[in-house]
Amino acid sequence: MTNRFGASYSPDLIHWSVEEDVSFPSEARHGCVSLLTSKEAKALLQKYPGTPSNVRSWQEP
């Protein structure tokens, strides 16, 4: 164990690779990051209204 945070990537949740060139803010804690299209994000926000305080807002490109 290296006593640090790390990041892994999987295109299919079966095959994984460790991402080496990453950095995290000092207040970072365990979590998950997923890339979403604007359409997917809007659908999730409609399905689950309200924004928890620990979710950062997103902007359309």
Render pLDDT for 12-27 as a digit per residue (tens, 0 to 9): 888 999 988 887 777 7
> What pLDDT was estimated at residue 57?
59
CA–CA separation, 6 and 33 (whole Å): 12
Residue of 27 and 2 predicted with greater confidence = 27
Arithmetic mean of pLDDT, 25-49: 79
Predicted structure pTM score:
0.40
Residue found under tokens 């979710």: 55
3-state class (DSSP) for residue 17:
strand
Q: What are phi and psi of 18, to 5 degrees?
A: -85, 130
CA–CA separation, 37 and 55 (whole Å): 17
Arithmetic mean of pLDDT, 22-48: 79
